[in-house]
Amino acid sequence: MRFGTSLGKVVMVCLVVSSSLLAQQKKRATVSGFVYDKSTGETLIGATVFFVGTRLGGTTNNNGYFVISDVPVGVDTLVVSYLGYDRFRESIRVGAVGGRLLRINLVPKAYRIGEVIVTADSLSMAERAFKRPVSTLELTQSQVNAIPKFIEPDLLRALESLPGITPISDFSSALYVRGGTPDQNLYLIDGAEIYEPEHAFGIFSTFNTDAIKRVMVSKGGFGAQYGDRLSSVIDVTELDGNRRKFEANANISLIAASATVQMPVWSFGSIAGSFRRTYIDQTYAKFIKDFPNYYFDDGNLTGKFQLDDRDNLTLNYFGSEDNLNYQFDKSSSQSPILSYSWGNNVASVRWDHIFGGKLLSTFLGSYSGFVSNFGLENLQAFNERNTISNYTLSESVRYYASNATTLRFGAAYQNVGITYGLSTSDGAINFDGPTRKYTGYAILSWQPDPLWDLEAGLRFEQFRSSATFTHVDPRVAIKYRLSETSSLKIATGIYHQYMDSVDRLFFASIWLPAGKYIDNSKATHFIFGYDKQLGNIFELEANAYYKSYSNIDIYNQNLSAQAVPSYYLQNGNPVYTSDQNVFLTGNGKSFGLELLLRKDEGAVTGWVGYALSRTEYVFPAINQGNMFIPRQDRTSVVNFVLNGDIGDIVSGKWNEPVRKSASSWLLGLNFIFTTGQPLTVPASVYFVNTLPAWDNYGSANQNLPNYQLYPGPIDNYRLPDYARLDLSITWKRDYGTWSLAPYLQIFNLGDRKNVWFIRYSSKNSNGEIVQDVKPVYMLPFLPSIGVTIKF
Amino acid sequence: MAVIALAGIIFSGCGQSGVNIDNAPYVPKIVVEGYLYCGETVGNIRLMKNFPIGSPVDTSTLYLTPSGNNVQATINGTSLSFDPATETYFSKQINVGYGQTYTLDVYAEVDGAKLHTTSTTTTPPKGFRIINRNMGSFGYNSPLMSLTFLPSPGTGFYAFSIVPDTATTANFIYNNVFRNNLDSAKVAKNLNNFKFNGAIESGINSYSATAFALPIRSDETWFYGKYTVVGYAGDSNFKDYVLTAPSVQEPDGNFHEPVLIFKGDGIGVFASAIADTATFTITR
């Protein structure tokens, strides 16, 4: 019995010990928390969090939140790094922190008048590149503001300096992304969709860069969480606000003044607000006779509140407004008056809740509205009104199942109303297009081993208007580490779009939903990416892509002959309420290669980009059904951006760390070259009277009928190549608690005469039809000055 | 190296870029100007060629003829005859009816190329007529000038040619409400632009029992004297040509194709209409 008892004890002890050891071996914990900027309390998006000596880690999401699962219990060293911040390195007792959220504050590494400068950190560039989705770029506020600007800092113009993103002209901030049209870009501001991201006439975008925290741009292959656009996503996150102290900055330029204010709200929140207004209506218009009475303003207000350890509430409002009033003859009360107002209003409420540490839920309710009114007074009855209103409710969930597996899923309901009204003395157009959209998505991210990163997603969409469209779109992205310094990325997916816009020169686009007469559009993306870290300085990114389109739309230039009346006024004049024949429909493809060499670290930063691309369309009703190159095609685009201290640039200290300095002279260069825009030009003339009774209109002497111009092959001619070099010089002076930065911006330093469009005219000159082509140039050498004050 | 690259950037960011579009490729076409009028025989159909822009228009080769261009033209299988005096094609065997379909078929050799085209028109149904064919006399800019007409059921497009019987610098209305700084030299230079005017009613309710009123506006009358208004109830080919052929240029100088209803190598217009005429006088 004793033996038995002893044996029993030994067995018992062995069992206890072994089970305890097994338990310890199997016992793992989840580490989660937030990463903040210590100086402002702002959450940091995209910070890297990992345990030293392991592959256990992750990055912070849009809320600055991270989760690392399956961490063995015990003491380990956690490292948090973020571009431009001191590395956080601390031993933590894993297990002891189970269930408790870590709050990690990173200290900005270097200041230049309070502005964060990009410097090297402990995480390799290759690792950062690997973590980025394919064809995705991120820009911070300081990177956007460092690019030389056209009078006012402008987000969309800053994006034009990236390969694969091309502008239409100096007068437009609309973007063509990889051969796609501007209406194929999804613009999000704090999760809410925005349809007209430009101020009137398109010269400036509505995003005030002082209010921007981060911009994510996906040029293709984006995940299943995004939809309803064929080409790209531009996702703007605005500042939360400084949770530590009051902070403000103001900027005054030749045409506008802006101010941004951030402050804490008690101990649990913050507010950030910005406002910008142009004042040419109070200056130029007062003194220059024919100058239009015009201004725009925009602003935003964000409040972020930490309700408790697991709940965050974010309230956001963004608004913009344009007003134009132009009287052709200011001295005459009978003179025609052109009035044009235009504006966006976007409001959202977001509630983030953390369930247990591994499950993060985000609820978003948003409204996005756009209104434009155009009218002519004292001439003839002419009024145009265009509105869009979007109400969205969405819920998205991220579940960190393990360190290797993350599941994301969500659902959204959108109610979008579009109205367009035009009334003239000859009739009217009244279009009312209520739509509803139901979406759901699921994304599984899986890292089977440290070399592979796989993501598979499905997106369900149902769009209801005058017809119903239902699709399930697969999306797949694969990343593979070739070596410590290089990686391959592949992405493919199917994308559908249910809204198209009629783009107009100077005037607001008119959005129309898919329905009875307009089919939904479809694109399929194939993207192959390669990232390579070159030394510790440069990062090379190469992307090859192929994008096919089905049922894409082009505005029907001959709509006047093909519009179908819906009903008639009492006087018999027509009223059009249908979108029948507004668009011509066809197919197409874009393909190309992009190279980007970036230098994000050291005293001098910048990038060089090159894009080689081609877009082809086939539309049965255009070019007799033969292939043609659409107007957004640009064969070659070269970008060059350089920023840094002039002293460092001249002395060649490009790679040295940024020095803190009370006073510095900064230089910014931005160069862009693009192949010229395709254009259709007339190739021949023919002699047919416009009306049968107009005989001898063309030339009574020669008994010739009137002549008409007949275009040559579509878009067969190209305008001259576009090139432009911009320069900025800024003197920054730090006075301790406040700073001053006067700047000089020179747009188009070389005063290159880039052709915007042509004025074409022709005449019958003694029996020869002679054409006269006058180019209309874009912006010339244009210096502007301003000053930024921060305190 | 960096200096060279920078110099290249600065150099390419300078300069002036010209625009030369003289080399647009010319493609020969059969140009048709043909209208069929209900109640009349087929006549006055012109077949022509197009010309490259910037080259002299040789009027001796403008019109396509059976002898010079091996033209074979038929409508619904009936050959058209050629009148050398007017250089037009006609057929007295075809009486154009209301609501009937006619197909023009043309073979021709143009600039050494053998071309072929067809186009089909369906004539409007009976109904269109101008009610006040003698509109009367009015002072300049009178709000009372108005033409009234009854539509053809199913035809929503109506075009009106408004042309003075006499248009010279002597009877030009210099004291007009739009451009009162014109002298006789400027008027002479642009005489045809002032002379040939028109109005369009498109998409109207053609089944309306009441007559339509077409106001004659002061920007359509630049001369004193008698005017002839020719109204057309046009078929869809007529509408497509009138609304799209003169408007192929977009605001930014880009051109697009008009809607010309031809198969093969044809451009121009082959359309049908019911025509009616009215007159009015602008008194000094």
**Which residue do the tokens 């630049």 mark?**
B222
Q: Which of residues 464-503 of A touch B (CB under 8 A)?
A: none
| pLDDT tens-digit map of A128-140 | 888 889 999 888 8
| CA B116 from centre of chain | 23
Q: Touching check for B25 and chain A: CB below 8 Å?
A: yes
Q: How many residues does chain A have?
A: 791
Alpha helical stretches, state H, A203-321 = 284-287
B8: enclosing H helix or E strand: helix B2-12
d(CA B284, CA B275): 30
Query: How far is A581 from A587, CA to CA, in rounded Å?
Result: 17
- At A322 the three-state DSSP class reads strand
Residues 574-593 of A with CB under 8 A from B: 574, 576
A672: Cβ contacts below 8 Å, ≥ 6 apart: A160, A161, A167, A637, A638, A639, A640, A722, A723, A724
Residue type at A671 in one-letter notation = F
Alpha-carbon span A131 to A721, nearest angstrom: 36
DSSP B245: G
| Contact status, residue A346 vs residue A194, Cβ threshold 8 Å | yes
What is residue A85's predicted lDDT score, i.e. its pLDDT? 83
Segments in A27-62 forming alpha helices (H): none
Residue A719 distance to chain B (closest CA, Å): 7
CA–CA min distance B238, chain A (Å): 9
CB–CB contact B269 A702 (8 Å): no
Alpha-carbon distance of A730 to A733, in angstroms, equals 10
Structure-block tokens of residue A786: 């301003």
For A291, phi then psi, to 5°, come to: -75, 130
Amino acid at A520: N
Q: Which residues contact A147 (CB under 8 A, 6 or more apart)?
A: A157, A158, A161, A641, A643, A668, A670
Inspect the interface and report whether the beta carbons of B17 and A752 lie closer than 8 Å.
yes
Residue A785 to residues A283, A641, A777, Cα–Cα distance (Å):
16, 20, 23
Divide the 791 residues of chain A into consecutive groups of 10 and give the mean pLDDT of each group.
44 42 58 87 85 81 83 83 83 70 82 39 70 88 76 82 88 89 93 86 78 92 96 93 90 87 91 90 72 85 90 93 78 72 93 89 95 76 85 95 92 95 79 92 93 96 96 98 94 96 77 92 98 90 97 90 88 87 94 94 90 97 92 95 88 77 89 93 90 71 72 90 92 89 91 87 76 85 88 85
Q: What angle do CA A196, A201, A204 make, to 5 degrees?
A: 70
Taking alpha carbons only, the member of A524, A579, A529, A591 closest to residue A551 is A524
CB contact under 8 A, A717 and B18: no
Angle made by CA atoms A179, A195, A276, in degrees to the nearest 5: 110
Residue numbers in B near A622 (CB within 8 A)? 257
Whether residue A263 lies within 8 A of chain B, CB to CB, comes out as no
* Side-chain half-sphere exposure of A657, counting CA atoms within 13 A: 12
Closest CA to A46 of A135, A117, A128, A111: A128
Interchain proximity A688–B268, CB inside 8 Å: yes
Q: Which of residues 69-128 of B touch A (CB under 8 A)?
A: none
- Percentage of chain B surpassing pLDDT 70? 95
**What is the token pair recorded at A76?**
């380990």
Q: Which residues pair with A75 in a beta bridge?
A: A93
Phi, psi of A719 (to 5 degrees): -65, 160
Of the candidates A372, A204, A197, A364, the residue with the CA atom closest to the CA atom of residue A296: A204
Indicate yes or no: CB of B208 within 8 angstroms of CB of A762. Answer: no
Q: In Å, how far is B79's CA from the nearest CA of chain A? A: 22
Q: Are A68 and A31 in contact (CB under 8 A)?
A: yes
Torsion of CA A324, A327, A330, A333, to 10 degrees: -120
Do A716 and B25 contact (CB within 8 A), yes or no?
A: yes
Give the end-to-end CA distance of chain A in Å, rounded to a whole number: 84
User: What ipTM describes this predicted complex?
Assistant: 0.92
Q: Closest partner residue to A683 among B18, B27, B268, by Cβ?
A: B27
CB contact under 8 A, B13 and A748: yes
To the nearest whole Å, the CA of A292 is away from the closest chain B CA by 21
> What distance in Å separates the CA atoms of residue B258 and residue A557, rounded to the nearest whole number?
9
Q: Measured between alpha carbons, how far apart are the two ends of chain B, in Å? A: 79
B197-222 average pLDDT score: 90
Amino acid letter at A336?
P
Phi, psi of A484 (to 5 degrees): -65, -20
A16 touches chain B (CB under 8 A): no
Amino acid at A434: P
Q: Which residues contact A378 (CB under 8 A, 6 or more apart)?
A: A334, A335, A336, A337
Burial class of residue A115 (count of CB atoms within 10 Å of its CB; 0-12, 13-18, 19+):
buried
Residues of chain A neighbouring B253 (CB-CB closer than 8 A):
679, 757-760, 776
Residue A573 has its nearest CB partner, among B54, B204, B232, at: B204
State residue B88's pLDDT score. Answer: 94
Say how many CB pairs under 8 Å bridge A and B: 243
Check CB contact under 8 Å for A753 and B268. Answer: no
- The runs of H, that is alpha helices, within A86-241 are 125-131, 141-146, 155-159
- What domains appear along chain B, each with residue ranges and CATH number? 30-51+59-122 (2.60.40), 129-234+274-283 (2.60.40)
Record: contact B13-A750, CB cut-off 8 A: yes
Q: Name the strand (E) or helix (H) holding A3.
A: helix A2-26
What 3-state class would DSSP assign to A477?
strand
Phi, psi of A429 (to 5 degrees): -120, 125
Angle at A122 between CA A119 and CA A124, to 5 degrees: 90
